[in-house]
Amino acid sequence: MLADLNYDERVFTEQAEYIDGNDLENWHIEHPIEKLIMRKLCQGGAKLLTGPRGCGKTTLLLKAYNEMSHRKDAFSVYVNFKTSLKIEPLYRKNTNGSYWFNQWLYLKIYKGIFKSLRDYEIDESVDLVFDEKSIDSYINKIELGIVDEINNVNELLSITLLEEEIKKILDVSGMTSCVLLLDDAAHAFSKEQQYDFFEFFRNIKSREISPKAAIYPGVTNFSASFHVGHDAEEIDVWIKVTDDEYIEFMTKLLQKRFPEDVFTQLTRDKDLLNLICYSSFGIPRALLNIVHNLCKEKRSIEIDCSRNSIVTSVRKVNALFMNIYKSLEEQLPIYKEFVKKGAGIYETLLDLLKQYNKDKDFCNQAVEVGIKKPIPAELDKVFHFLQYAGLLMYDRELSRGENGRYAIYIINYGFLVEQNVFGGRTNIKNVELSTALKTRNMHEYKRLTVESLIGEGDISNMFPFSLPPCPKCNTPRISADTKFCSECGEKLITPSLFEELVNNDISKLPLTAYRVETIKQCSAIKTIRDILMDTDHKELRSVPGVGPYWTDRISSYAEEYIG
């Protein structure tokens, strides 16, 4: 059924950091364990929020910031580090790469302090060492790589100075603790940066200062001295699609985000509502994308809630999930073969589940696979990459007695729908599909061995590292730590990941082929770098069909691609 509905495209804004504060508060839905999460974020101790892209980590960090700034019982500072990969070239060009990255970390937190002082309405005459204008200047110069212009400063900042500045604020305000909410901190795909960040995270933790950070399964690298569990507690915030309150949470999200007429359309058929909610696999961003695909781009919404339209939309969102996964080939080039083989393994899992579910009734359809332990490190890495992209979720470990122990993974429901995994056929009724999606028998899962997934043989040969060859004679590197070519003696330099990413074509972004071609024909934008350089958005805004909403969205896609 079609309905012509007035709407504001802001409701489709996916990333919480781009949502207006009032909208964020009005649209917020309480996470099933939000009280526990907020208590851990707002009180002492180091915490790590973990989950794939779009599962709500930023929303929770911002909610914690707003709560603390309203209550004024702890001084909170929110910092988003999503542009951290801009600093990565300094590790390749400058022997002081770690120093400048750490300076950038301190400066970004210092910048966040100024915003917090305003939000807390604390007297800005607090005698801080640096002013905000100087901080902005230093940040910009480091991000542009022109650190020579600030080399005359013997020492900009240190952890000690940062701690002293925070203690000044606590003394003036009468508060006793500071909470650092560090968003997108471990999403930079430079291993060196992540090591340096977690050394900072470990060292800044004190009785007065409690750091909290958002991390991602599979792509976060901890320093050798950092131990999850000891140095910080990990909190998984990804909402399980098998939880009893799952549909209620997703339905409330739709109700809060969309006008009443839209919500009525989406919830008219409960079976199709289940299809929409379950196919988003616990990721609010995916839910918004599914609904957005049901609407036409114009000043009013034409929303088609037929099953065919929903399945088509789910297929498009699945492609976004898979694009995030495949982007790891470029963002983590050393693991290129892992990512390629992982895509094949995922297809195998879907095929095996489809065969397993064939001829079973709809109350006993399996959505899980069990991999017999021990799981080799290489295969475990692949499963972590799949989790990062939201393609599967680790659920539990299960003992089968003498038959061994199994790691149980839930497969993304959207792919189960697209691949007709339920019942092994396409001509099933809406109510049957809904039953298969929501009814779980914990004993129904496909048991697999490592050999059944990847075959027999030397696993290290199956999953080789993809190391860049010698630039002079093209001889393959012996290992990632090799400094000189074994053949010609040429010094081996690791290329800048940032430079490689920003020079990629804009077709790498989650945009339709038509929109990519329109942007190229009607503007000077061809690469990711061109979008990042278009700071005033003149080029993007010159493209037909790219208004304020799509300008912000395309810019955020480019930032997320390098972050």
Q: What share of the chain is helix, strand, coil (3-state, %, to 5)?
A: 50, 10, 35
Q: How would DSSP label each residue in 152-189?
A: TSS----HHHHHHHHHHHHHHH----EEEEEETTT---
- Residues in contact with 351: Cβ distance below 8 Å, sequence separation at least 6, in sequence order: none
- Residues in contact with 171: Cβ distance below 8 Å, sequence separation at least 6, in sequence order: none
Which residue type, as a one-letter code, is found at position 548?
Answer: P
Angstrom distance (rounded) from CA 368 to CA 380: 16
Q: In the sheet that 368-372 helps form, which strands lie side by side, from edge to edge?
A: 392-399, 405-411, 368-372, 446-448
pLDDT at 536: 65
User: Reduced to 3 states, what is the DSSP secondary structure of residue 394?
Assistant: strand
pLDDT at 195: 86
Q: What is the DSSP letter of 374?
A: P
Which residue type, as a one-letter code, is found at position 62?
Answer: L
Strand 405-411 to strand 368-372: parallel, antiparallel, or no bridges (unpaired)?
antiparallel
Angstrom distance (rounded) from CA 497 to CA 141: 20
- Count CA atoms closer than 13 A to 382's CA, side-chain side: 24
pLDDT at 9: 61
pLDDT at 23: 60
From the number of C-beta atoms within 10 Å of its C-beta (0-12, 13-18, 19+), residue 228 rates as: middle
Q: What is the DSSP letter of 319?
A: H
Tens-digit pLDDT string for the chain (563 aa):
334 334 456 665 555 455 566 665 666 778 889 999 999 999 999 999 999 988 889 999 999 999 999 999 999 999 998 877 788 888 777 668 888 899 999 999 999 999 999 999 987 678 898 889 989 999 989 888 888 777 655 567 889 999 999 999 999 999 999 999 999 866 545 778 888 899 999 999 999 999 999 998 777 878 778 888 889 999 999 999 999 999 999 999 999 888 888 889 899 999 999 999 999 999 999 998 999 888 765 445 668 889 999 999 999 999 999 999 998 888 788 788 999 999 999 999 999 999 999 989 999 999 999 999 999 888 998 999 999 999 999 999 999 888 899 999 999 999 999 999 998 777 889 999 999 999 988 889 999 999 999 988 888 788 887 766 776 677 766 665 667 777 777 776 666 666 677 788 888 888 888 888 899 888 888 888 788 767 667 788 888 888 877 887 788 788 777 65
Q: What is the pTM of this model?
A: 0.81
For the beta carbon of residue 5, count every other beta carbon within 10 angstroms.
Answer: 17
pLDDT at 417: 96
Which tokens hold the place of 446? 């496909």
Asked if 445 and 432 count as a contact pair (C-beta separation under 8 A), the reply is no
From the number of C-beta atoms within 10 Å of its C-beta (0-12, 13-18, 19+), residue 451 rates as: exposed
- Residues in contact with 385: Cβ distance below 8 Å, sequence separation at least 6, in sequence order: 218, 219, 325, 328, 335, 338, 339, 342
* Residue 423 zone, left/alpha/beta (φ > 0; ψ -120 to 50; rest): left
pLDDT at 3: 40
